[in-house]
């Protein structure tokens, strides 16, 4: 495999969960088969702290839908799920009709009161996983600010960054996702929400730091030349 079509979705999340799933379905349908698609963090419900039980129940419906939609493509997003009494922000990777990777958000955003509503996951869940020979990893929104998590994904070919990143810190988001690609010499696929208070900035960043983004679009795509990964690592050898 020398190339792969990557999609970063930049969509709004509404109050109606079913409407959000319908829109996500429609967006995915516009993406090519055998592609990799990243949706924003909690794109189906947002941080609906007054409706957590409802959101957790809806995650079951959303999971079934995404399992079906992923039979001929890969889909990555996060959703609110409940384990007994605790709620988690779970990142899930749907690939060939299965969930092939799952990790709970380990760094909860204090300014958004996430720590008051979610239980943090373990950093041990932040690991590399395989997608048809492509070494992948994921960092969920606020986790982007913690270099120790970057180090856990050394050697990745592709890193996913779903987010609901506020527009007041837009420059931080765009700087960090670009730095992540350059430091780890890999592709970064970043997807931020498009609600009015969000930064947007969804992008595909190549290992040399080239950025493909468009804040006016709901779907950003790029045919990633995967040979760039070996080229940059050979040209600038930092031990990856």
Position 45 scores a pLDDT of 98
- Is-contact 37 73, C-beta < 8 A? yes
Q: Which DSSP letter does residue 166 get?
A: B
Classify each residue of 62-93 as buried b or exposed e, where b means 16 or more C-beta atoms within 10 Å of its C-beta. bbebbbebbeebbbbbbbbbbeeeebbbbbbb
Q: What is the pLDDT along the chain (240 residues), one digit of tens a residue?
A: 799 999 999 999 999 999 999 999 999 999 999 999 999 999 999 999 999 999 999 999 999 999 999 999 999 999 999 998 999 999 999 999 999 999 999 999 999 999 999 999 999 999 999 999 999 999 999 999 999 999 999 999 999 999 999 999 999 999 999 999 999 999 999 999 999 999 999 999 999 999 999 999 999 999 999 999 999 999 999 999
> Do 166 and 198 contact (CB within 8 A), yes or no?
yes
Report in angstroms the alpha-carbon separations of 154 from 92, 180, 185. 20, 10, 9
- Residue corresponding to tokens 């605790």: 86
Candidates 210, 165, 171, 219; CA nearest to 188 is 210
pTM of the model: 0.97
> Where does 1-61 show beta strands of DSSP type E?
3-9, 36-38
| SS3 state at 183 | helix
Please, what is the angle between helix 17-29 and helix 52-69, to 10°? 20
- Domain ranges (residues) in the chain: 3-235
d(CA 142, CA 226): 27
Task: Give the phi and the psi of residue 216 in degrees, each rounded to 5.
Answer: -90, -10
Q: Tokens 């799933």 belong to which residue?
A: 21
> What is the DSSP secondary structure assignment for residue 82, as one 8-state letter?
E
3-235: what CATH class?
alpha beta
CB 240 within 8 A of CB 185: yes
Smallest CA-to-CA distance from 213 within 169, 164, 157, 173 is with 173
């Amino acid at each position: 495999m020398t190339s792969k079509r990557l999609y970063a979705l930049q969509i709004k999340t509404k109050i109606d969960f079913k409407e959000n799933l319908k829109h996500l379905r429609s967006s995915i349908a516009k993406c090519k088969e055998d592609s990799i698609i990243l949706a924003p963090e909690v794109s189906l419900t947002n941080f609906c702290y007054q409706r957590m039980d409802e959101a957790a129940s809806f995650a079951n419906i959303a999971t079934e839908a995404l399992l079906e939609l992923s039979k001929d493509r890969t889909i990555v997003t996060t959703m609110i799920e409940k384990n007994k009494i605790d709620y988690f922000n779970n990142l899930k990777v749907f690939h060939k009709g299965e969930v092939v990777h799952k990790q709970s958000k380990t760094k909860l955003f204090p300014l958004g009161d996430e720590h008051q509503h979610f239980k943090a996951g373990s950093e041990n869940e932040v690991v590399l996983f395989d997608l048809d020979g492509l070494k992948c990893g994921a960092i969920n929104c606020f986790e982007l600010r913690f270099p120790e998590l970057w180090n856990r994904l050394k050697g990745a070919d592709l890193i996913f960054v779903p987010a609901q990143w506020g527009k007041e810190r837009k420059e931080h988001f765009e700087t960090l996702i670009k730095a992540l690609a350059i430091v780890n010499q890999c592709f970064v696929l970043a997807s931020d929400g498009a609600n009015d208070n969000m930064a947007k900035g969804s992008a595909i960043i190549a290992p040399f730091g080239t950025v493909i983004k468009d804040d006016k679009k709901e779907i950003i795509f790029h045919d990633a030349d995967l040979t760039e990964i070996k080229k940059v690592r050979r040209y600038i050898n930092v031990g990856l």
